[in-house]
Amino acid sequence: MFAPGAVPRQNVAMDQRNSFFRPELADLPAYVAGAVAPGDSVIKASSNEICFPPLPGVQAAIMHQLGNVTRYPDMAGAPLRAAIAAYHQVSVEQIVVGNGSVALIEKFLTALATPEAEVVLPWPSFEAYPIAAKVAGVHAVRTKLRADGAVDLLAVRQAVTARTRALLLCTPNNPTSAALTHTELRAFLLDLPSDVAVLLDEAYVDFVDMPDAVRGVELCAEFPNVISLRTFAKAYGLAGLRVGYAICDPAVAQTLLAMNTPFGVNQLAQAAAIAALQARGEVDRRVQHTVAERNKLVAALRAQGWTGPDPQGNFVWFPGADTELLEALCRAEGLIVRALADGVRVTVTDSEGSLRLVRALSNYRAEQD
Ligand SMILES: *Cc1c(COP(=O)(O)O)cnc(C)c1O
């Protein structure tokens, strides 16, 4: 059934075509993805991915599912939710999966956005937060970090007003790699009004090796306003498949589930994430390897005269650095790092990656003198 149709409209000005969107979306901050390594010999240390190949069980699970991609996946990821619930020993009603944890952050903020709503955003932190807040149409109130780079809970508490709907707490914080303790976070939560939601982003929880580490699942059980956010992108090595999840109160989960994009986590990702959970022993070995590499790297940095708290994520942070110079010196060594506004973030990879960083930093210090 064909008709001639209208001639496509030409020369419509850009601002006119965008006039149906909310005006504040015109100046969304850009999410800058970590640079891609230009060749095999270059090491990518710009996106905090783990530096191992996919787990064998994950590859097999994906291959097994290839024949099923003509079919929609399970709509809300029920088998994956069940596997996650079993792993954390919580009920399946407490788990929501999403197309990367970033998708869950977006849904969460959209769910609470009203014209008056505010969220408290300790900064610098994950770049995706301010973008998600703007897209949701919720006002983000920034607070400073502690001198050690961890979330300043006192500053956060002072920023809470009657309009505050949620807090975006990242621990260990990206990009500073500093973490809160369970004791201080729990004390903070006891003092917080229970109608303020706490999005606890624990993307790097696996890499923490300090005493009194935050136990997010326990906090979710004690405080129904806490939502622990996890991802398969980092320790599990599934960044390319986009899958993350929230552990939260069943009532909160119900709303997030109702809002979720139908079939938001694809077939291959669901199968791969289940296989990754089954391979938790191997995941742990890889995490331990990364933590050991980080600790070796930190010792080398200290020997060079660098000071600062021990990093708790799979990345190290150089605040206040001459970011352009440091990035260029790393690139000259074949290491792609992430230059941000306030410093340079470098993912812990393998011993070769550490060696390159140490060489670049030694050149950096020489240029600074
Ligand atoms: C990498 C990262 C994530 C993971 O996001 P996905 O969408 O699951 O890939 C979440 N939060 C923080 C702070 C991160 O650095």
Q: What is the pLDDT of residues 47-74, one digit of tens each?
A: 999 999 999 999 999 999 999 999 999 9
What pLDDT is attached to residue 15?
A: 58
Pairing of strands 226-231, 244-247: antiparallel
* Sign of the alpha-carbon dihedral angle for 136, 138, 144, 146: negative
Q: Which two tokens stand for residue 295?
A: 């600790």
What pLDDT is attached to residue 9?
A: 62
Q: Which two tokens stand for residue 60?
A: 């097999």
pTM of the model: 0.93
Tell whether ligand 1 has an atom less than 6 A from the beta carbon of residue 101: yes
- Cα–Cα distances (Å) from 12 to 8, 15, 25, 114, in that order, read 10, 9, 19, 32
Mean pLDDT computed over 1-25: 70
What pLDDT is attached to residue 2?
A: 78
Ligand 1 atom closest to 244 (CA): 8
Tell whether ligand 1 has an atom less than 6 A from the beta carbon of residue 48: yes
Q: Between residues 36 and 91, which one has the greater pLDDT? A: 91
Q: Where are the alpha helices (DSSP H) in the chain?
A: 14-17, 56-65, 78-88, 101-112, 128-136, 153-159, 182-191, 216-222, 250-259, 267-278, 280-303, 323-332, 351-368
What pLDDT is attached to residue 13?
A: 60
Q: In this structure, which residue's CA is closest to atom 2 in ligand 1?
A: 203
What pLDDT is attached to residue 27?
A: 79
The amino acid present at 66, given as its one-letter code, is L
Burial class (CB in 10 A: 0-12, 13-18, 19+), 76: middle
The region, left, alpha or beta by phi > 0 then psi within -120 to 50, assigned to residue 165 is: alpha
How many residues in total does the chain contain? 369
> Tens of pLDDT along 291-325?
999 999 999 999 999 999 999 999 999 998 899 99
What pLDDT is attached to residue 14?
A: 57
What pLDDT band is residue 20 in, cutting at 50, 70 and 90?
Answer: confident
What pLDDT is attached to residue 200?
A: 98
Which residue among 107, 109, 126, 347 has the greatest number of ligand 1 atoms within 8 angstroms of its CB, and so is best to mutate? 126
The CA 10 to ligand 1 mean position distance, Å, reads 40
What pLDDT is attached to residue 11?
A: 60
The CA 47 to ligand 1 mean position distance, Å, reads 10
The CA 349 to ligand 1 mean position distance, Å, reads 17
Residue among 158, 161, 167 nearest 140 (CA): 167
> Tens of pLDDT along 117-164?
999 999 999 999 999 999 999 999 999 999 999 999 999 999 999 999
Ligand 1 atom closest to 239 (CA): 9
Tell whether ligand 1 has an atom less than 6 A from the beta carbon of residue 201: yes
Residue among 310, 276, 287, 303 nearest 83 (CA): 276
What pLDDT is attached to residue 60?
A: 98
